[in-house]
Amino acid sequence: MGELLGERRWLVLTGAGVSTDSGIPDYRGPDSPPRTPMTYQEFVRTPEGRQRYWARSHVGWARMWTAEPNATHRMLVAMQDAGRLTGLITQNVDGLHERAGHRDVIDLHGRIDRVICLACRDVTTRASLHERLAALNPGFESRVGEVAPDGDVVLSDTGDFRVAACTICGGDLKPDVVFFGENVPKERVERSYGLVAEAEALVVLGSSLHVMSGLRFVKAAHRRGIPVVIVNRGTTRGDDLATLKIDEGVAETLSTSLPFV
């Protein structure tokens, strides 16, 4: 990896495999069980869908927000400080890159620590919503279940959960993240393509590239003819576009490839 990239500065694209060392499960890792995430269409279609989502997410929020940046996040900050990166695009919504000290991250799929009203588009913090939901549903967050990758917890019964509305207009609230079936905002896509157009190399860390939102940037880098390195346990949809594919964990690969960090 070091020999291929040499002194090139990297554009980095990260996925869920970067956050697994922080205790956040991955949808598509080699050992991940089959999961069906909430879709945008399901969320907006019925009150019951929104109730199920917010109940599960309320219980899981503490687990997600107490997760700490891991060695990979810290190594990428060190690379940025050393001037070795041209940018970082993440498909993760956990905010761990920023909490580790990384600057100017493009949060491609949004941030789970923000909440948006589907009616008036007001954006508030997830922490404030958590307090409101706790007041509406005393004791609910003590329920237990398997933690899923989006920070929610699998619960069998959510029918008694009370959902909070927007404090400004009374509209329905949604986490400020891109759900399956929803489009990434155009501005984020254009900024990301701009980074690819100026990149000396693209390094993909911990992503299966299963969805086009990330794969398109690998395709763009391949068309430009710059080196594309993919580090991910298991196959990805970009393997045939990669100059080098490393089927190993992200942290151990970076720690052996970056002696200066």
**Conformational region of residue 228, where left means phi above 0, alpha means psi within -120 to 50, and beta covers everything else:** beta
Is 17 annotated in a binding site? The answer is: yes
Is 31 annotated in a binding site? The answer is: yes
Is 229 annotated in a binding site? The answer is: no
Is 166 annotated in a binding site? The answer is: yes
What amino acid positions are annotated as catalytic residues?
109
End-to-end CA distance of the chain: 15
Identify the residue whose tokens are 């151990």.
Answer: 252
Is 207 annotated in a binding site? The answer is: yes
54 touches 237 (CB < 8 A): no
Is 91 annotated in a binding site? The answer is: yes
Is 19 annotated in a binding site? The answer is: yes
Q: Other C-beta atoms within 10 Å of 2: how many?
A: 9
For residue 209, give every residue at least 6 positions away whose Cβ sits within 8 Å of its Cβ, in sequence order, or none. 15, 215, 218, 230, 236, 237, 238
For residue 179, give every residue at least 6 positions away whose Cβ sits within 8 Å of its Cβ, in sequence order, or none. 37, 38, 39, 40, 43
Is 255 annotated in a binding site? The answer is: no
Is 208 annotated in a binding site? The answer is: yes
Identify the residue whose tokens are 């207009």.
Answer: 169
Identify the residue whose tokens are 């759900």.
Answer: 179
Per DSSP, helices labelled H in the chain are 2-5, 40-45, 47-65, 71-81, 96-99, 126-136, 186-198, 212-224, 250-257
Is 250 annotated in a binding site? The answer is: yes
Is 234 annotated in a binding site? The answer is: yes
d(CA 57, CA 52): 8
Question: From residue 1, how far is each of 10, 82, 97, 168 by CA, in Å?
Answer: 12, 18, 22, 52
Is 34 annotated in a binding site? The answer is: yes
Is 114 annotated in a binding site? The answer is: no
Is 257 annotated in a binding site? The answer is: no
Is 145 annotated in a binding site? The answer is: no
Which residues are known binding-site members for Zn(2+)? 117, 120, 166, 169
Residues forming the annotated binding site for NAD(+)?
15-35, 91-94, 206-208, 232-234, 250
Q: Residues annotated in the binding site, as ranges?
A: 15-35, 91-94, 117, 120, 166, 169, 206-208, 232-234, 250
